[in-house]
A = this chain, B = another copy of it.
Amino acid sequence: MKLRIKKEELKSGISIAERIASRSISLPILKNISIKAEKDLINISATDLEIGVEWWGSAKTDKTGELVVPSSILSGFINLLPDAEIELTSNKEDLNINCSNYNTQIKGFNPEEFPIIPEVAEKESVLVDIQYLCKSLSCVVDIPTFSTTRPEISGILFKFDKNILKIVATDSYRLGEKTIKLNSSVKNPFFFILPQKSAKEIISIFGETEGDIRIVFGANQVLFELLMTNIKHPKIRLISRQIEGDYPNYEEIIPKKNQITAILERSDLLNQIKAAGLFSGKSGEVIFKIEPTKNKIEIVSQNPEAGEYNSTLLGKITGKKETISFNYRYLVDGILSIKTSEVLFEINSSSEPGVLKPTKGIDFLYIIMPIKA
């Protein structure tokens, strides 16, 4: 193997592969990344057996071949190099790097020991704007908590029907649902459950890129693929396993009606809930005393060790008088995912879930269970 590549180009590929390689602790070979010299291209890949990533960049290839080297030492070294052309040459299993007056040899491993990144047998695929997908995923990605008894809610549901993709996450205390409009319709409805860490890597790896990403649905895996801008060749591919099982029928818990609606200024609501949270103790309980006739909500919290909080929030409120308690942390998470300057808060009674929504668009829904008295 022998190729030449610009430093910045190589650095961007290694940084993507390193994200996946550096997480592996069980199997030492997974701490490595694979470098392949192809015709006019370099391919860099890594896997932790749950997620695989592949990246391609342009290179001047003198001799094709493959090498497997430790990701941390390669990444650390490349970052220190001047902004110039780098020559990568194989020396048996080792990698020689020459750039300006920096010369090094990194000890490598037998490429045959490195796991193969699986191909996805395509059942169906859709195209989505990558920025739109990453921003939508960000609204729900932190909601799941790891559960061994209910592995399906440890992941994020991707539910496709006609030209609608719904991305859903819950930890059984709250649930977020983001709706994405696709440019074309899928033939048959389908869904998959993506592991939370795969979703986080998608946001990190594709968050700074542009264009349409192709989501390819397979039997046990999902592929997220971004093409190069100039030629029809993959630029980045992320292959993730799916979580097996059925997602709970969450649509049942979405309230069909609402007896109280409150339109509240977002930043004021957020700050008041955070402030009340400081005095809420371990339970995180913050009490909302809703008075529609006065168009105000009194926000109250107290605990004997810290003190007490009592403030008033004004808004446009309709419905009956009610007192309801929530965990302030869940409220904060929901409000942070709403980007409109006002928030719509829908409530039925002190024992039924509340719903937070943006005031414009109906593309996000956040359902939160109350703390029952």
> CB within 8 Å of B: which residues of A?
70, 73, 76-77, 80-82, 94-95, 101-107, 271-272, 274-275, 278-279, 304-313
Are A102 and B272 in touch, CB under 8 angstroms? Answer: yes
Residue of B nearest to A76 (CB): B278
In the complex the two chains form, is B311's CB within 8 Å of A103's CB?
Answer: yes
What are 17 A-B pairs at a CB distance below 8 A? Answer: A73-B306, A73-B307, A77-B278, A80-B275, A80-B278, A81-B271, A82-B271, A95-B307, A101-B312, A104-B275, A104-B307, A104-B310, A105-B309, A106-B306, A106-B307, A107-B304, A107-B307
Q: Which of A103, A275, A304 has the most CB of B within 10 A?
A: A275
Query: In whole Å, how far is A299's beta carbon from the nearest beta carbon of chain B?
Result: 10
Q: Closest B residue to A72 by CB, please name it.
A: B278
A272 CB contacts on chain B under 8 angstroms: 102
Shortest beta-carbon distance from A30 to chain B in Å: 17
Beta-carbon contact of B73 and A308 below 8 Å:
no
Say whether, besides A80-B271, A271-B80, A105 and B278 are in contact (CB < 8 Å): no
Q: Top 4 A-B pairs ranked by shortest CB distance?
A: A106-B307, A107-B307, A104-B309, A80-B275
- With A76-B278, A80-B275, A274-B80 already in contact, the answer to whether A311 and B102 are too (CB < 8 A) is yes
Q: Which of B105, B274, B304, B309 contacts A308 (CB 8 A)?
A: B105
Residues of B within 8 A of A70 (CB): 306
Report the nearest B residue to A98, measured CB to CB.
Answer: B311
**Distance (whole angstroms) from the CB of A335 to the closest CB of chain B:** 14
**Are the CB atoms of B275 and A77 closer together than 8 Å?**
yes
Least Cβ–Cβ distance between A262 and chain B, in angstroms: 16
Residue numbers in B under 8 Å from A275 (CB-CB): 77, 80-81, 102, 104
> What CA separation (Å) do A311 and B80 show in the bound complex?
13
Query: Residue on B with the closest CB to A275?
Result: B80
Task: Tell me the bound Cα distance from A304 to B313 in angstroms.
Answer: 66
List the B side residues contacting A81 at CB < 8 Å.
Answer: 271, 275
Q: Determine if B305 and A107 form an interchain contact, defined as CB atoms under 8 angstroms apart.
A: yes
B-chain residues with CB within 8 Å of residue A312 when the two chains form the complex: 101
Q: Please give the distance in Å from A297's CB to the nearest CB on chain B.
A: 11
CB <8 Å contact, A101 and B311? yes
Whether B313 and A104, one on each chain, are in contact in the complex, defined by CB atoms closer than 8 angstroms, is: no
For A78, the closest partner residue in chain B by CB is B275
On chain B, the residues within 8 Å of A271 by CB distance are: 80-82
- Residues on B with C-beta less than 8 A from A82 are 271
Instruction: Add 7 more A-B contacts to A70-B306, A73-B307, A106-B307 (CB < 8 A).
Output: A77-B278, A80-B274, A80-B278, A82-B271, A94-B307, A104-B279, A105-B307
